[in-house]
Amino acid sequence: MADMASEIPINIEDSVKETIQNVTEKPPSSIEGIAIAYLSLVIMAILPIFFGSFRSVKYLNEQKKAGERHETMSNKDALMFPLVASCALFGLYIFFQFFSKEYINLLLTGYFFFLGVLALSHLLSPIISFLVPASIPNIPFHIHFTRGERDNKQDIINYKFTSYDVICLLISLCLGAWYLLKKHWIANNLFGIAFAINGVELLHLNNVVTGCILLCGLFLYDIFWVFGTNVMVTVAKSFEAPIKLVFPQDLLVNGLNASNFAMLGLGDIVVPGIFIALLLRFDKSLKRNSEFYFRATFSAYILGLLATILVMHVFKHAQPALLYLVPACLATPLALALLRGDLPALFKYEDQPAEPEADKSKKSE
**Where in the sequence numbering do the catalytic residues fall?**
222, 268
Q: Residue 161: is it exposed, middle or buried by C-beta count within 10 angstroms (0-12/13-18/19+)?
A: middle
Geometric angle at alpha carbon 205, from 61 and 109, rounded to 5° = 100
The C-alpha torsion from 206 through 207 and 212 to 213, rounded to 10°, is -60
The CA-atom distances, in angstroms, between 181 and each of 63, 109, 115, 185, 312 are 38, 11, 17, 12, 32
- Sequence-ordered list of residues with C-beta below 8 angstroms from that of 191, at least 6 positions apart, any chain: 112, 116, 119, 120, 175, 176, 179, 242
8-state DSSP, 258: -
Compute φ and ψ for 197, nearest 5 degrees: -65, -45
Q: First-to-last CA distance in the chain?
A: 96
**Calpha distance 72→89 (Å, rounded):** 23
**Calpha distance 79→331 (Å, rounded):** 20
Geometric angle at alpha carbon 182, from 181 and 188, rounded to 5° = 110
Count of alpha carbons within 13 angstroms of residue 189, beta-carbon side: 19
| Cβ–Cβ under 8 Å, residues 338 and 296 | no
| Cβ–Cβ under 8 Å, residues 300 and 332 | yes
The CA-atom distances, in angstroms, between 360 and each of 71, 207, 351, 364, 365 are 16, 21, 18, 6, 9
CB atoms closer than 10 angstroms to residue 347: 14
CB atoms closer than 10 angstroms to residue 312: 16
